[in-house]
Amino acid sequence: MTRTFERADPQAGAREARGAARSHGADAAGPRYKSIYQALARDIGSGRYPVMTLLPTEHELCEQFDASRHTIREAIRMLTVAGMVSRRPGVGTRVETAKASTRFTQRISQFPDLLQYARNAALLVREVRNIKLSRRLAETLGGEPGQTWLHINSIKTLDDRDTPVACTLIYADPAHSDLRAHIQPRLSLLRLIEENFGDRISEVNQEFSATPIAAPLARQLHVAPRTPGFVITRRYYGAGGVLLLATITTFPHDKMKYSMSLNVS
C-alpha cells in the first residue's frame, strides 16, 4: 500500500508569515522558534496547511521565515510534541490535526522514529541515585535481584514546564556505562543514549500496559493516586542480549496517545 501526500504551497502567504514572525520576535514573544511555531500552528488551524498534507521542507521554511535550520527544527519539534504534525524520514513533515493537543503523541513504526521520539524527549531530572533491584523490578527490567543499578527519576513536560505530562524512570547497569557524568538538570534522552551507548544498541524491546498510578508518581504528575495510567517500558540491548538501559514512562490516561502505521506491500 503506497500513500502519496500533497505538499502545501511554501510561497502561499510567505510575506505575511515573515511579517508575523518579525512582529512577534524574540524580544516580544520569547524565543524566535516559539513565534514560528505559533505562526505555523495558526496556518495549520486556518487550513493553509490541511490535515494529511506535508508542510514545506526545512529549507523552504528557512527562506519563508528568514530563520536558521536549528530554529525551524525547534519550531517543528514543538508542533510534533503538540501532536499537530509527524515526521517521516524520506517523506517529510505531515499535518496530523488542525488543533494542538494537551496529550503527548508518539507515532513509532521503525527504529528512526524511536530515535526521533528520544530527540524530542527533554526531561527534568528530579533524583539520581544507586538502587538495588528488588525482585519485582528485576523481573520488569530483565536483570538480577540485588544488582546495583543507576536510577534516574525524571519528568517530561510540554511547553509549560510547570505541567508534567509523564514520569520517566531510567535504569542503567553501571557495569556498562557511567551515566552520571552526562546527567544535567534538563536531560536529553537521545544524547544520553548516543553518548553512552552509541552503536552498541542492537535491539529495542517495548511493552505497553495500563495500571493505576501509585501515590509517589501521582504526586509528581499532579494527579490523584490510582488515576488510570498508560505505561511504556523500553529495554535497550547490546551484543549478546546484554541489557544496557531501560526506561519506564508513565502517562496519566488523558495525556497520552500512541499511533502506529503499518505499510502493507
User: Mean pLDDT in the chain?
Assistant: 78
Answer whether residue 163 shows pLDDT above 80.
no
What is the average per-residue pLDDT within 221-245? 89
Answer whether residue 234 shows pLDDT above 70.
yes
Tell me the backbone φ, ψ of residue 241, rounded to 5 degrees.
Answer: 75, 20
Q: How confident is the model at residue 59 (pLDDT cuts 50, 70, 90)?
A: very high
Task: State the burial class of residue 265 (Cβ atoms within 10 Å of its Cβ: 0-12, 13-18, 19+).
Answer: exposed
HEC letters along 146-166: CCEEEEEEEEEECCCCCCEEE
Strands 92-95 and 85-88: antiparallel
Residue whose C-alpha cell reads 544507586 in the numeric block:
130
Answer whether residue 230 shows pLDDT above 60.
yes
Most confident of 4-13, 114-123, 193-202: 193-202
Answer whether residue 262 shows pLDDT above 60.
no
Answer whether residue 139 shows pLDDT above 50.
yes
In the beta sheet, which residues pair with residue 85? 95
Among positive and negative, which fits the CA dihedral 176, 182, 183, 186?
negative
184 DSSP assignment: -
Q: How confident is the model at residue 12 (pLDDT cuts 50, 70, 90)?
A: very low
Answer whether residue 75 shows pLDDT above 80.
yes
Note the pLDDT of residue 195: 78
240 DSSP assignment: G
In the beta sheet, which residues pair with residue 249? 168, 232
Tell me the backbone φ, ψ of residue 76, rounded to 5 degrees.
Answer: -65, -35
Higher-scoring residue by pLDDT: 84, 265: 84
What is the average per-residue pLDDT within 199-205? 81
- Contact between 167 and 153 under an 8 Å Cβ cutoff? The reply is yes
Note the pLDDT of residue 8: 52
Answer whether residue 103 shows pLDDT above 80.
no
Answer whether residue 108 shows pLDDT above 60.
no
Higher-scoring residue by pLDDT: 76, 29: 76
Note the pLDDT of residue 130: 92
Tell me the backbone φ, ψ of residue 88, rounded to 5 degrees.
Answer: -130, 120
Question: What is the number of other CB atoms lying within 10 angstroms of the CB of residue 166?
Answer: 25
Answer whether residue 150 shows pLDDT above 70.
yes
Note the pLDDT of residue 91: 79
- Residue 48 Cα to chain centre, angstroms: 26
Most confident of 24-38, 66-80, 214-228: 214-228
Instruction: Check: pTM over 0.85? Answer yes or no.
Output: no
